[in-house]
Amino acid sequence: MYARLGEVISMDGSITVTLAAHQAIGLKGILLAGSEEQKARYLPRLASGEHVAAFCLTEPASGSDAASIQTRATLSEDKKHYVLNGSKVWITNGGLANVFTVFAKTEVVDSDGSVKDKITAFIVERDFGGVTNGKPEDKLGIRGSNTCEVHFENTRVPVGNVLGEVGGGFKVAMNGLNSGRCSMGSAVAGMLKRLIEMTAEHACTRKQFNRNLSEFGLIQEKFALMAQKTYVMESMTYLTAGMLDQPGFPDCSIEAAMVKVFSSEGAWQSVSEALQILGGTGYMKGYPYERLLRDSRILLVFEGTNEILRMYIALTGLQHAGQVLTARINELKQGNVTTVMETIGRRLQDSLGRGVDLGLTGKLGAVHPSVADGAHRLEENVYHFGRTVETLLLRFGKTIVEEQLVLKRVANVLINLFGMTAVLSRASRSIRLGLRNHDHEMLQKT
């Protein structure tokens, strides 16, 4: 439901960001990790809009490296409060919020008796005292949203306002960001649908060389790109939203990161293409197009930069693959004759055009026969990507973490594979149900 709301309000980036900071990340920690008492106390007024929430993670010296935050919470002598000190920067709703989800370092005693600093999440009310904020930042885009520094000086937070477990704040932060990253996809898709509509109206009425702009192939190509990007990101978003809605709060961190990367870059590219079609009109402040361009630029930065998210997507996937392939890779490195010969034989078959069948098609297949060609391409890409991953792990081993250009390519392939999966799933469902415009979706999936 929130994803759909994100589409509806998406033409104003400032409103979208304000709501997302409140709903998608600000109160999400309470919803996912809060106790029943915390939920009963805070969620009703946050849901009604009587109170506004903000998410306080980023600091002057820690952006992508969340583990390096310096804000500290110290347990009081009577063990009834944590005393919070530190500053957060670029906090959306920072000057408006009544309730903050704040992340701070706390001392935690490990099972071996040693004391370590770990991140803990807290629910902090402005009324606790010691909470101040700076003036609103003067930004390139999303200028209607409130973004400012938030300072905590000897703020006394009741121990009952620890969110989740002491030392478990990193998990709370990541779960909240997953929701925010996923919601970006629906907001961008909604904005692009309206942008395509407005740009198409211009292209169908603007004449050059005695022809409408819409009749020229290069202009049609731009519309095709925008429509394709929109369809893919919308498919990825709602597939991921469906996963997130499943009971038990499943781990969808990689999927959410892929939605964020694809949607943010798709927005920037598509808005740029729209301005190219609009010409000088798109550059004028009297029209909404230049604002959409400015608003879109931040999408590649917040909720985790796309560079960091690509590293996360690739390394998390490779970590899982490494666990599955460890024994085989060790045998290859040790020169196990049987394993080496099996590998050579398999690669020879691949080079000769091995048929790949992962069960997407056929009588028991998961997709409609009309999209079988796309399903076969997906199966082949997944299979050969698996072989590539095996080769990378064999070549680089643990040093793969330093090969950022390789990891970027791995992440790009994963994002494309997820996009293909989402599109095939959606198009297949539309055909089976006989939904309106399913024939157009068939064109999109190609």
Angle at 374 between CA 370 and CA 380, to 5 degrees: 140
- Quickly list DSSP for 376-426: HHHHHHHHHHHHHHHHHHHHHGGGGGG-HHHHHHHHHHHHHHHHHHHHHHH
DSSP letter (8 states) at residue 198: H
CA distance 39 to 56: 19
Do residues 180 and 32 make contact, with C-beta atoms less than 8 angstroms apart? no
User: Which among 313, 305, 296, 264 is positioned nearest to 418, based on CA atoms?
Assistant: 313
Which long-range contacts link 349-356 to residues 24+ away (Cβ below 8 Å)? 350/384, 350/387, 356/380, 356/383
Sign of CA dihedral 155, 159, 163, 167: positive
Burial 124-137 (b: 16+ CB within 10 A, else e): bbbebebbebeeeb
- Residues whose CB is less than 8 angstroms from the CB of residue 159 and which lie 6 or more positions away in sequence, other chains included: 75, 79, 80, 81, 82
User: Which among 285, 269, 272 is positioned nearest to 233, based on CA atoms?
Assistant: 269
Q: What kind and span of H or E run contains 122? A: strand 115-125
Active-site residue identified among 265, 290, 303, 390: 303
Q: What kind and span of H or E run contains 236? A: helix 217-244
Say whether 7 is catalytic: no
Straight-line distance from the first to the last Cα atom of the chain, in angstroms, rounded to the nearest whole number: 29
CA distance 216 to 19: 40
The tokens for 69 are 């935050």
Query: Would you name the residues annotated as active-site residues?
Result: 303
